[in-house]
Amino acid sequence: MSLENTEEHAIRHWWRTSIIDMKPGQIEFRGHPIQDLIGNVGFAQMIWLMTRGDLPSKAEADLFECALVAGVDHGPQAPSIAAARMAATCGVGLNNVMATGVNMLGDVHGGAGEQCAELYLDIAERMDAGVNLNDATRDGIAHWRETYGKIVSGFGHRFHKPVDPRAPRLMAMVREAASTGTVDGMFADIGEAVQAEIGRQRGIEIAMNIDGATAVIFCELGFPPPLSRGLFCLSRSVGVLSHGWEQMQQGGRNKGPMPPRFLPLYEDKT
Amino acid sequence: MSLENTEEHAIRHWWRTSIIDMKPGQIEFRGHPIQDLIGNVGFAQMIWLMTRGDLPSKAEADLFECALVAGVDHGPQAPSIAAARMAATCGVGLNNVMATGVNMLGDVHGGAGEQCAELYLDIAERMDAGVNLNDATRDGIAHWRETYGKIVSGFGHRFHKPVDPRAPRLMAMVREAASTGTVDGMFADIGEAVQAEIGRQRGIEIAMNIDGATAVIFCELGFPPPLSRGLFCLSRSVGVLSHGWEQMQQGGRNKGPMPPRFLPLYEDKT
Amino acid sequence: MSLENTEEHAIRHWWRTSIIDMKPGQIEFRGHPIQDLIGNVGFAQMIWLMTRGDLPSKAEADLFECALVAGVDHGPQAPSIAAARMAATCGVGLNNVMATGVNMLGDVHGGAGEQCAELYLDIAERMDAGVNLNDATRDGIAHWRETYGKIVSGFGHRFHKPVDPRAPRLMAMVREAASTGTVDGMFADIGEAVQAEIGRQRGIEIAMNIDGATAVIFCELGFPPPLSRGLFCLSRSVGVLSHGWEQMQQGGRNKGPMPPRFLPLYEDKT
Amino acid sequence: MSLENTEEHAIRHWWRTSIIDMKPGQIEFRGHPIQDLIGNVGFAQMIWLMTRGDLPSKAEADLFECALVAGVDHGPQAPSIAAARMAATCGVGLNNVMATGVNMLGDVHGGAGEQCAELYLDIAERMDAGVNLNDATRDGIAHWRETYGKIVSGFGHRFHKPVDPRAPRLMAMVREAASTGTVDGMFADIGEAVQAEIGRQRGIEIAMNIDGATAVIFCELGFPPPLSRGLFCLSRSVGVLSHGWEQMQQGGRNKGPMPPRFLPLYEDKT
């Protein structure tokens, strides 16, 4: 190998990837020519292929789509959606509108699914080591709280009381997929055990929310926790786009958080 | 109506939407309860419902998915992907990584499909007014160039010469959908007429690229031009997520655009 | 030059810059070693040096600072500030909070100063060609409106009526700087002529706003129009940071645009 | 108070702030009318007023400016600068370019100053409790590493070896300010003690870098740690703007991380 090649190799290696291989006139994703994918795999399967490297079965893709469909939006009360709608009136492109919304899906919001998946996987690991479900759940929750605090991500909802309508439907889909052998069902058990244990500890039942339920699905399907956040961002991007576009059609210039006649209250601290 | 209600109404009206309706324990999108959507519509159908208000037929959704699948990624040479990968090494969340990439899909990149759709629709309008395809195409291109300049968005590719492998496959899918009556096929004709006309004018054939081909699909399916950009952003978000996640697994801290031993060249202008 | 050097040069040239020159242990900006700048030039002078290449006189820097000070904030009614405050409750870093706010300073908001500077410079060019101030102003406004529409950026304010308190103070500072020869004063004349002409046309006086006044300063000091936007973004970043930080101290999780008990109004369009 | 007023108060209270007070024709920051600030306080003083609530003395502002000047840029090798320059070729506004860069100043990069300030303050607290400087430093470092890992933020530089030219100059400015009583000098002692202790432990001297030195200044001046990050973002925004603007003048469309003829290396993992 000549020195020139070494140089070139260093640069090409800096940007190495296993996702895409290109030559002029040729594009392959994870070993599949793009023309073989178009028309043969759906969008959800493509998301799976790109993030994981393999293609899911039809049944796996169906369950996967349930999670993607469930998380698209929670309306303009959510700061990410409100910010996107405001951005849409400030003279930026729809791409900037979408980035504004997605950028805000941080640890508190978009991170809930990731944190919940970490809890589920920790409980599963305890069970693999021989602990029974109830003990593993109790210990897993205790351990999780040392890192993240008392409120367990994925459970409880400040608006949807007593039930988040997305969770039972998603859990039913998991149970159905487990009944046909598409998934194991262990994380559905774990999710429900966490829900029961939190309820027991506080003395009143708690709802599983969208993050708790989608984390069950992503864990069942074998996605690592950070992708729980990434996939939620992808799903919620749909809502961000839809609201940004609706706002563009409604019009407005420099839309603030409330009608202009309401002035923020000034609190003198001097 | 009491004054209090007027006040409350003003605030609620400020954030009015036709996309989502919520009550505690209840979520409806465009009139469909979320539990009826989960498990019954795919992710692509959900995207359509959210952005348009109605649900597509299965055949429409299939063609729609072709466009979404085709645009997911073009590798780390693309600035949006490279920036996302660099962001992934800077200590920010995966949501911030995704926002970094999507934010860069501006007029030059993400806007190409939108601009191309505008051209197609302008040609279609000329034909509706009685002009034949060839004349409408020639006049439409001339008119478009007054706004956007000589290079027609959607045609030609600096890397994929002579053919962008995504375009012929996408066009074949449109033709197939037209043959079964799913779409009309008029925008496929228009797209090919634009390609032929540009080739004629420059004296050498030009390739239709991904933006030109997906704009055909989005126009056939009735999406307004700005959504061509928005839907491309959604599709490319998949690549942004995949590369960001791959980079996180590769590791690195504050990854620059080239290996650290290459210093930017200083050009003295003092 | 060997092939290896050619290769390396190509890569280094790809990232060429006249702003910074680095060697291990050595940093120079625009030819000035960093250790000579620290303690000897103020922050505003540094901004000037970095964006323009030369150092301003003390008097120029003083006028420049007036514009930077004037634009720092306009409170949480502004979408950029509200979005930043909401982001601060979503579990992202202060850098992401700041980016969220600055990202929204688009054509409608942050672009006003840039568009206004374009108008001023066009009028100045007409005067250089021999047209008198009044005619140049009238023609300049007419020409500007062909591109940007009826509302002239930099004039009028939906909240500060009849006077934006920042504008007269800024204009007084320009006049003072003109009286000592720091600047010419021509753009102050032009700004006031534009204000008078718009007032004449609508039959009622109009206020010059912050964008109109800072554009006068940036033009007097020789900044090109796009930097009017960039410098405004820098100035407003201070407000974005301050509000993001205040919000972090106030606390809150996923702060929406209005108190949670106000639900967005659902408008049925199915 | 009527019900209507209660309603209005709730909304105004939701956006309460101590930073800005507005009425039509009137703007006050932290109790100071804007017209009294313009022309009387510099940009750095304004930043202090906005983030802290009070105005600094001239001597405090001078030291503060040293830190702001020192951090403006580290060239296109830095991912934030490279990303901003790439964004500038993608057809987005200069505001979006700036946001792209600032968004990437996360925990690994922009967060270093914040983490370093936390260490300094922890050591100071141990000293307040009666521990001597050396022991407090050793214990503080050990404690800090439990949270953040072995590499102490603020010390060492992968490029500037053996000395980061910004640090000694900044430390000299702190010492000078301490000699006139502007600051105490305790954090300068602490910073140097940390540097010495790390060197002792690894058996070879280590350099203090820009984050370590600016954290000394921010701590001396009484800024809380998160503002170390925020102020760094403000400072680096200057470099982001300058490079984005230089790139816009250089031109280019969809600039990638390396010249187009270098293809990312494909690593087959199927």
Instruction: Write out A66-97 in H/E/C secondary structure.
Output: HHHHHCCCCCCCCHHHHHHHHHCCCCCCHHHH
Residue of D13, D15, D89, D92 for testing the chain B interface, max B β-carbons within 10 Å: D92
CA dist C244 and C229 (Å) reads 21
Q: Is the peptide bond before B162 cis (omega within 30 degrees of 0)?
A: yes
The H or E element containing residue B23 is strand B20-23
- In this structure, the answer to whether residues B22 and B126 fall within a common structural domain is no
Q: Do A77 and C260 touch (CB under 8 A)?
A: yes
pLDDT (tens digit per residue) in A73-124: 999 999 999 999 999 999 999 999 999 999 999 999 889 999 999 999 999 9
Residue A240 lies in a domain: yes
Q: Is beta strand B32-33 parallel, antiparallel or unpaired with respect to D32-33?
A: unpaired
Q: Are C73 and C233 in contact (CB under 8 A)?
A: no
Question: With contacts defined as CB-CB under 8 Å, which chain A residues touch C80?
Answer: 90
Q: Is beta strand B32-33 parallel, antiparallel or unpaired with respect to A26-29?
A: unpaired
Q: Do A18 and B238 touch (CB under 8 A)?
A: no
- In this structure, the answer to whether residues A232 and A102 fall within a common structural domain is yes
Tokens 């942050």 -> residue: C110
- Residue type for B160, please? H
Percent of chain A residues topping a pLDDT of 70: 98
Mean pLDDT of all residues in A137-143: 98
DSSP β-bridge partners for residue D90: none
CA dist D144 and D148 (Å) reads 6
Mean pLDDT in chain C? Answer: 95
Residue B204 lies in a domain: yes
Q: Do A12 and D264 touch (CB under 8 A)?
A: yes
Residue D126 lies in a domain: yes
CA dist D196 and D192 (Å) reads 6
Per the structure block, which two tokens stand in for D85? 């320059």
- Classify the C-alpha dihedral B180-B183-B187-B188 as positive or negative: negative
For residue C270, what pLDDT is reported? Answer: 65
Strand order in the sheet with D20-23: D20-23, D26-29, D32-33
For residue B198, what pLDDT is reported? Answer: 98
Strand order in the sheet with C20-23: C20-23, C26-29, C32-33
- In this structure, the answer to whether residues C69 and C145 fall within a common structural domain is yes
Q: Do B98 and A230 touch (CB under 8 A)?
A: yes
For residue A269, what pLDDT is reported? Answer: 81
For residue A79, what pLDDT is reported? Answer: 97
The answer to whether D92 faces chain A, any CB pair under 8 Å, is yes
Q: Give the count of beta carbons closer than 10 Å to the beta carbon of residue A57.
A: 10
Query: How far, in Å, are C110, D114, D118, D228, D230 from residue D223 at the CA level?
Result: 29, 10, 11, 7, 11
Q: Are D79 and B256 in contact (CB under 8 A)?
A: yes
Coil vs helix vs strand at D20: strand
Q: Are D140 and D118 in contact (CB under 8 A)?
A: no
Residue C52 lies in a domain: no
- In this structure, the answer to whether residues D30 and D120 fall within a common structural domain is no
For residue B1, what pLDDT is reported? Answer: 46
- In this structure, the answer to whether residues D35 and D135 fall within a common structural domain is no
The answer to whether D266 faces chain A, any CB pair under 8 Å, is yes
B244, B188, B241, B231: which is closest to B70 by C-alpha?
B231
Number of structural domains found in chain B = 2
D189, D105, D111, D103: which is closest to D151 by C-alpha?
D111
Nearest CA in chain C to B21: C266
Residue D268 lies in a domain: no
Query: How many distinct helices (H) and strands (E) make up chain C?
Result: 12, 3
Q: Are B57 and A116 in contact (CB under 8 A)?
A: no
Q: Do D266 and A18 touch (CB under 8 A)?
A: yes
Instruction: Kindly calculate the radius of gyration of chain A based on its CA atoms and give it in whole angstroms.
Output: 22
Q: Give the count of beta carbons closer than 10 Å to the beta carbon of residue C3.
A: 12
For residue D1, what pLDDT is reported? Answer: 46
Question: With contacts defined as CB-CB under 8 Å, which chain B residues touch A79?
Answer: none
- Classify the C-alpha dihedral B193-B194-B200-B204 as positive or negative: negative
Chains that contact B by 3+ CB pairs under 8 Å? A, C, D
- Classify the C-alpha dihedral A129-A131-A136-A139 as positive or negative: negative
For residue A1, what pLDDT is reported? Answer: 46
Look at residue B258 and tell me whether its pLDDT is greater than 80.
Answer: yes
Residue C51 lies in a domain: no
Look at residue B267 and tell me whether its pLDDT is greater than 50.
Answer: yes
> Which among A15, A16, A270 has CB closest to D53?
A270
Q: Do D17 and C68 touch (CB under 8 A)?
A: no
The answer to whether D269 faces chain A, any CB pair under 8 Å, is yes
Mean pLDDT of all residues in A5-18: 89
Coil vs helix vs strand at A215: helix
The answer to whether C227 faces chain D, any CB pair under 8 Å, is yes
CA dist D128 and D121 (Å) reads 10
The answer to whether A267 faces chain D, any CB pair under 8 Å, is yes
| pTM: predicted TM-score of the whole model, two decimal places | 0.97
Q: Do C20 and D94 touch (CB under 8 A)?
A: no
pLDDT (tens digit per residue) in A166-197: 999 999 999 999 999 999 999 999 999 999 99
Least confident window among A149-163, B63-77, C136-150, D216-230 = A149-163
Look at residue C2 and tell me whether its pLDDT is greater than 70.
Answer: no
Mean pLDDT of all residues in A31-60: 97
Tokens 């993400």 -> residue: B110
Q: Are A206 and A199 in contact (CB under 8 A)?
A: yes
Q: Are D71 and B260 in contact (CB under 8 A)?
A: no
**Residue A2 pLDDT level (bands cut at 50, 70, 90):** low
- In this structure, the answer to whether residues B117 and B214 fall within a common structural domain is yes
Residue D258 lies in a domain: no
Shortest Cα–Cα distance, B23 to chain D (Å): 21
Shortest Cα–Cα distance, C174 to chain A (Å): 29
Residue D260 lies in a domain: no
Total residues belonging to chain C:
270
| Burial class of residue A3 in the structure, from the number of CB atoms within 10 Å of its CB (0-12 exposed, 13-18 middle, 19+ buried) | exposed
Least confident window among A34-38, D89-93, D109-113 = D109-113
Mean pLDDT of all residues in D166-177: 98
For residue A158, what pLDDT is reported? Answer: 84
The answer to whether C90 faces chain A, any CB pair under 8 Å, is yes
Per the structure block, which two tokens stand in for A241? 């786009």
Nearest CA in chain D to B255: D79
DSSP state of C220: H
CA dist C261 and B138 (Å) reads 56
For residue C1, what pLDDT is reported? Answer: 46
Q: Are D23 and A265 in contact (CB under 8 A)?
A: no
Mean pLDDT in chain A? Answer: 95
Which residues, at least 6 apart from A148, have a Cβ–Cβ distance to it below 8 Å? A115
For residue C161, what pLDDT is reported? Answer: 86
pLDDT (tens digit per residue) in C152-170: 999 998 888 889 999 999 9
Per the structure block, which two tokens stand in for D148? 């953040």
Query: How far, in Å, are B212, B260, C14, C23 from residue B266 at the CA level?
Result: 39, 15, 11, 11
For residue A7, what pLDDT is reported? Answer: 79
Look at residue A6 and tell me whether its pLDDT is greater than 90.
Answer: no
- In this structure, the answer to whether residues C87 and C142 fall within a common structural domain is yes
Q: Is the ipTM of this complex over 0.90?
A: yes
Shortest Cα–Cα distance, C235 to chain D (Å): 9
Look at residue D8 and tell me whether its pLDDT is greater than 90.
Answer: no
Domain CATH number, residue C158: 1.10.230.10
Q: Is the peptide bond before C162 cis (omega within 30 degrees of 0)?
A: yes
Per the structure block, which two tokens stand in for A178? 């487990």
Phi-psi label, residue D251: left if phi above 0, alpha if psi -120 to 50, beta otherwise: left
Look at residue D119 and tell me whether its pLDDT is greater than 60.
Answer: yes
- In this structure, the answer to whether residues D30 and D85 fall within a common structural domain is no
pLDDT (tens digit per residue) in D22-37: 999 999 999 999 999 9
| Burial class of residue D132 in the structure, from the number of CB atoms within 10 Å of its CB (0-12 exposed, 13-18 middle, 19+ buried) | exposed
Query: How far, in Å, are A85, A96, B133, C79, D90 from residue A90 at the CA level?
Result: 9, 10, 38, 8, 19
Phi-psi label, residue D85: left if phi above 0, alpha if psi -120 to 50, beta otherwise: alpha
> Which among B2, B75, B256 has CB closest to D79?
B256
- In this structure, the answer to whether residues D149 and D196 fall within a common structural domain is yes
For residue C77, what pLDDT is reported? Answer: 95
Per the structure block, which two tokens stand in for D52? 């802290």
Shortest Cα–Cα distance, A245 to chain C (Å): 15
Residue of B95, B205, B217 for testing the chain A interface, max A β-carbons within 10 Å: B95
Look at residue C203 and tell me whether its pLDDT is greater than 70.
Answer: yes
pLDDT (tens digit per residue) in B193-233: 999 999 999 999 999 999 999 999 999 999 999 999 999 99
Domain that holds residue A17: 11-41
- In this structure, the answer to whether residues B108 and B203 fall within a common structural domain is yes
Mean pLDDT in chain D? Answer: 95
- In this structure, the answer to whether residues C194 and C85 fall within a common structural domain is yes
CA dist A42 and A238 (Å) reads 16
Mean pLDDT of all residues in B257-264: 93
- Classify the C-alpha dihedral D226-D231-D234-D239 as positive or negative: negative
CA dist A183 and B116 (Å) reads 44
> Which among A19, A72, A161 has CB closest to B46?
A72
E-assigned strands of chain C?
Answer: 20-23, 26-29, 32-33
A100, A262, A177, A124: which is closest to B15 by C-alpha?
A262
- In this structure, the answer to whether residues D162 and D135 fall within a common structural domain is yes
| Burial class of residue C59 in the structure, from the number of CB atoms within 10 Å of its CB (0-12 exposed, 13-18 middle, 19+ buried) | middle
Which residues, at least 6 apart from D212, have a Cβ–Cβ distance to it below 8 Å? D116, D153, D154, D155, D167, D191, D194, D195
Question: With contacts defined as CB-CB under 8 Å, which chain C residues touch B21?
Answer: 266, 268
